[in-house]
Amino acid sequence: MWPYIWDYRGRVLAALMALVLAKIANVGVPILLKYLIDDLNQPAELLTLPLFLLLIYGALRLSSSFFNELRDALFARVRYRAMRRLSNELLTHLHQLSLRFHLERRTGAISRDLERGTRSISSILNYLVFNIIPTIAELLLITGILLWNYHFSFTVITLVTIAVYVIFTFMMMDWRVKYRHQMNASESEANTQAIDSLVNYETVKYFGNEAFEARRYDNTLSEWEESAVKSQTTMSALNFGQASIIAIGVTLIMIAASREVVAGQMSIGDLVLVNAFLLQLFIPLNFLGVVYRSMKYAFIDMGNLFKLLDEKPEIQDKINAPALIVGDGTVEFKNVSFFYQKERPILHHISFTIPAGHKVAVVGASGAGKSTLARLLLRFYDVQGGGIYINGQNISEVTQASLRAAIGIVPQDTVLFNETIFYNIHYALPSANKEAVIEAAKLANIHEFILQLPQGYDTLVGERGLKLSGGEKQRVAIARAILKRPKILIFDEATSALDSHSEQAIQQALSQVAENHTTLVIAHRLSTIVDAEQILVMANGMIIERGNHSELLALNGTYSQMWALQQETDN
């Protein structure tokens, strides 16, 4: 954690100085109290008001409070900046991880790890500066005073009590920490299940599985409950053990102090001083057990967070990789082979070229590998064989940022941010003005629909765009691609969620947008790609036919059969 607080090392040092001064003032209070009691423990005729000592007593109490608050104020910036930096670093890191990682890991679990992990940073820094270090400082001051002024037995009893207390606490915590692990695992699982069921609200309703989701959630919560109960009962045993150790230690010291008073070796003021020291020491020490438990849990939570930070991106830029020079935007797949899992190859020796300003379409049955081509062109994955080139440059040799800046995509499954329609279109080009956003919406044939909404462009689309229909979401995605105006365009079944009327209107807009752009169209409806210069027909990860619309019909092969089938369906 040190790198996260090093930027404010001056503040850290000042906070530690304030901490030491607060503890010196705090330890000074019982010492002054001793002299007050000894001055007042006189025959009535010799008693005088120790005004000077009383004023110093008040000043010490005020100083202790002042330096404690000064420490808190100085350290606040350090603590919250560390949280901010780590949270931002983690989110940046998660965005750098591969698509494979995000497809395999559950979003609910990540959100809980992120929330608990960043909260643990604050907790640990808080406990260190406000509890552990102050208690250690006070322990050193008090044991030093006891050793210097009184019989060594007082120091021995104090140190032995603390040692037994710490050892007992560590042993108990190490024994019961497994229940906290189980609690966290069950809580993350329950949270993931809840988020998944809410995100897929419509699917749950389709199949009437509300009771099934509730049972599944409750079964996981039942496991969490058992772990939580065991965690709490063992905590009670730990608390009682700690209290017993402190009670025995205090009793032994008070017996020793009382014997010294009876023997005339100590004054009443000394007895009060020792008692006050013990109260000042053992009260925070008792709380130290709670702090240790909390820190133990915080380290567990932080462990999950740093495991995320330790995840290595599958796709990484090479050292000193240059930016992509888009040039005319020619795209070339050369003998590309790819698999997600070795036992299940997806693409086999795929080769084709999309000349600058041309449109190439890819068709085929589901699972043929069409959408994988788009993911590979965006370099969400690296190919296992062959290479993909843009303007003669292998995309694995250039920076990912420059590659994706050159490509615009309208995906098959459009997922929108839970923000306004304007935000979702504007997201493609944050530097664009409002007029450009409206123009893009008009070209995507969604402007009129937006104006009919009560809040217009300021309408919230809901989580994942649930407030919009499939066609409306795709038109927002098309507007987003239009606004970006990249050199290379990918349409991944971009009109699959549209009715025939909307499809015709948007197809014209897409044709305008695609002019002078290198365009890859992954299509389900063949009517949308009849104007493509080349159409690739895929099956089982291979290109089985290629040519333009007329040439493929003349072959009387797979494409011709697909065309005939769709014509029958449309009619």
Q: Which CATH architecture describes the domain 2-310?
A: Up-down Bundle (1.20)
The band of 42, judged by pLDDT with boundaries at 50, 70 and 90, is low
pLDDT at 361: 93
Average pLDDT over residues 473-477: 85
pLDDT digits (tens, 9 = 90+) for 352-410: 999 988 899 999 887 788 889 999 999 999 999 999 999 999 999 999 999 998 998 88
Q: Which one-letter DSSP state was computed for residue 420?
A: B
Could you give the percent of the chain with pLDDT greater than 70? 91
**Per-residue model confidence as pLDDT tens digits over 537-556:** 999 889 999 999 999 999 99
Give the C-alpha separation, 45 to 87, whole Å: 69
The 10 Å Cβ neighbour count of residue 530 is: 14
- Confidence label for 17 from pLDDT (cuts 50, 70 and 90): confident
Q: What is the pLDDT of residues 195-235, one digit of tens each?
A: 888 888 888 888 888 899 899 899 999 988 988 888 888 88
Amino acid identity, position 307: K
- Percent of the chain residues topping a pLDDT of 90: 20
**Residue ranges per domain, the chain?**
2-310, 320-406+489-496+518-571, 412-485
What is the predicted pLDDT for the residue at 495? Answer: 65
Give, for 408, the enclosing helix (H) or strand (E).
strand 407-410
When pLDDT is averaged across residues 552-562 and rounded to a whole number, the result is 91
Interatomic CA distance for residues 570 and 500, integer angstroms: 9
Band of the pLDDT at 39, cuts 50, 70, 90? low
Express each pLDDT in 506-531 by its tens digit: 666 667 666 778 999 998 878 888 88
**Across residues 398-427, what is the average pLDDT?**
89
Q: Do domains 320-406+489-496+518-571 and 412-485 have the same CATH topology?
A: yes
Q: Is the dihedral of CA 192, 101, 381, 309 positive or negative?
A: positive
pLDDT band at 349 (very low <50, low <70, confident <90, very high): very high
Task: State the Cα–Cα distance between residues 393 and 398, nearest whole angstrom.
Answer: 8
More reliable by pLDDT, 39 or 315 = 315
Angle at 98 between CA 93 and CA 100, to 5 degrees: 135
- Output the CA torsion sign for 76, 79, 82, 88: negative
> What is the predicted pLDDT for the residue at 114?
76
What are 277-328's pLDDT values in tens digits?
A: 777 777 777 676 677 777 877 888 888 888 888 888 888 899 999 999 998 8
Q: How is the beta sheet containing 542-547 ordered, strand by strand?
A: 407-410, 488-492, 518-522, 359-364, 534-539, 542-547
The secondary structure of 474-485, three-state, reads HHHHHHHHHHHC
Which residue type occupies 521? Answer: V
| Domain 412-485 in CATH 3.40.640.10 | no
| CA distance linking residue 78 with residue 246, whole number of Å | 34
Rounded Cα distance between 274 and 146, Å, is 8
Q: What is the pLDDT of residue 148?
A: 84
Q: What CA–CA distance (Å, rounded) separates 404 from 484?
A: 11
Which CATH class, in words, describes the domain spanning 320-406+489-496+518-571?
alpha beta
| 82-122 pLDDT, tens digit each | 888 888 888 888 888 877 777 776 666 677 777 777 788 77
Provide the pLDDT confidence category of residue 250 given band limits of 50, 70 and 90: confident
Q: E strands within 278-397?
A: 331-341, 344-354, 359-364, 385-390, 393-394
* Average pLDDT over every residue of 43-66: 74
Where do the DSSP E strands lie in 195-294?
Answer: none
